């Protein structure tokens, strides 16, 4: 355990900016702290810190150790804390990220009940349409929508992600409703752009499962689904939506499904985590809570 303790000391030095401050925080003498840092450097065979009379900086090797070592220390601390609390409530800081619209609509309303059920958990919610690197950004968990390309992540499916094409009644009155996927070529289509590029190839399946892929175009594109939703409701074109995003608009008639005899391939809404030997109780508790709240039929698929 000496190496783990030395690594903990090294991280504390980086966080506090000096050996003396780190030593005080760990109830060590400065001399002992310095000796332990030198021991760690000697065992690893690299210099971790540049020391001057006024400043202290991590070397490139020190930064690499900090990036990977911090996760190990946090995981060990979480394991130790959870083992000490065996049979009690999960605790500690839970860092979760998801898309801005989905998080606002479906995760934010769940947080009061989650906090009531698990008062010892502190929650940091990062809502962004960027797919963050979970390890580099220090996230414990992400709720992601669509295909999962990163094989280094562990995923649990929470719900199907059913998708539709939709437009406003006004747009369909002015331009007519397409009858086949190929008809989309002549229409104004609202295109999502993101990390995977411009998503302009729309794939549809007929009732027999035969696929058609159409390259669409239009005058409006955005990386934010809310912009495309607003544009569709305003009559500016046909857009490609997840049902969770527009189910209220479809029920109210603000939007109408286009090409109802065809369907877009379903994807999934998943909870994803970095691969770890030990998953903290707070992470498991949050995933189980969201899965329980969504149920077999998620809120956006329920009638009424």
- In order of their start, the domains of the chain are 2-84 (1.10.10.10), 92-159+267-298 (3.40.190.10), 163-258 (3.40.190.290)
CB 98: neighbour CB atoms within 10 A?
25
Q: Report the candidate in 208, 201, 205 with the shortest Cα–Cα distance to residue 180.
A: 205
pLDDT the model gives residue 85: 59
pLDDT tens figures, 175-209: 999 999 999 999 999 999 876 668 899 999 999 98
Q: Roughly what angle, to the nearest 10 degrees, separates helices 243-252 and 225-233? A: 20
pLDDT tens figures, 216-241: 999 999 988 899 999 999 999 999 99
Residue 285 to residue 17: CA distance in whole angstroms = 35
Residue linked to tokens 């450097």: 41
Show the tokens assigned to 158.
Answer: 């929470």
pLDDT the model gives residue 14: 86
Show the tokens assigned to 143.
Answer: 């709720």
pLDDT the model gives residue 195: 64
pLDDT the model gives residue 18: 86
pLDDT the model gives residue 194: 74
Strand partners for 212: 204
Return the sign of the alpha-carbon dihedral for residues 166, 103, 109, 299: positive
> pLDDT in tens for each of the 304 residues of the chain?
577 888 888 888 888 888 888 888 888 898 988 899 888 888 888 888 887 666 788 888 888 888 888 878 777 777 676 666 544 678 888 999 999 999 999 999 999 999 999 998 999 999 988 888 887 788 899 999 987 766 667 889 999 999 999 999 999 999 999 999 999 999 999 999 876 668 899 999 999 989 999 999 999 999 888 999 999 999 999 999 999 999 999 999 999 999 999 999 888 999 999 876 678 889 999 999 999 999 999 999 987 5
Q: 281-291: b or e for each residue (b if 16 or more CB lie within 10 Å)?
A: bbbbbbbebbe
Residue 222 to residue 85: CA distance in whole angstroms = 46
Residue 72 to residue 213: CA distance in whole angstroms = 45
Torsion angle (degrees, nearest 10) of CA 235, 241, 244, 250 = 40
Residue linked to tokens 């797919």: 131
pLDDT the model gives residue 86: 46
């Amino acid at each position: 355990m000496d190496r783990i303790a030395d690594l903990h000391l090294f991280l504390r030095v980086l966080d506090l900016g000096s050996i003396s401050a780190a030593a005080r925080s760990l109830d060590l003498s400065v001399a002992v702290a310095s000796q332990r840092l030198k021991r760690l450097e000697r065992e690893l065979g690299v210099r971790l810190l540049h020391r001057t009379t006024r400043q202290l900086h991590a070397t490139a090797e020190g930064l690499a150790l900090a990036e990977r070592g911090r996760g190990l220390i946090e995981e060990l601390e979480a394991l130790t804390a959870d083992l000490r609390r065996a049979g009690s409530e999960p605790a500690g800081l839970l860092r979760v990220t998801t898309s801005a619209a989905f998080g606002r609509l479906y995760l934010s309303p769940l947080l009061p009940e989650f906090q009531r059920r698990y008062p010892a958990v502190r929650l940091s919610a990062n809502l962004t349409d960027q797919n963050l690197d979970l390890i580099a950004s220090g996230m414990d968990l992400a709720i992601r929508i669509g295909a999962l390309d990163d094989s280094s992540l562990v995923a649990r499916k929470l719900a199907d992600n059913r998708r539709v094409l939709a437009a406003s009644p006004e747009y369909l009155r002015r331009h007519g409703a397409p009858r086949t996927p190929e008809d989309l070529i002549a229409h104004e289509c609202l295109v999502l752009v993101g990390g995977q590029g411009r998503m302009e190839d729309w794939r549809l399946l007929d009732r027999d499962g035969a696929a058609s892929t159409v390259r669409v175009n239009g005058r409006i594109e955005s990386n934010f689904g809310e912009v495309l939703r607003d544009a569709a409701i305003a009559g500016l074109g046909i857009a490609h939506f997840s049902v969770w995003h527009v189910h209220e608009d479809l029920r109210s008639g603000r939007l109408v499904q286009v090409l109802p005899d065809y369907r877009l391939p379903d994807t999934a809404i998943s909870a994803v985590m970095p691969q770890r030997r030990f998953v903290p109780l707070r992470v498991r508790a949050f995933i189980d809570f969201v899965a329980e709240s969504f149920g077999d039929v998620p809120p956006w698929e329920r009638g009424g």
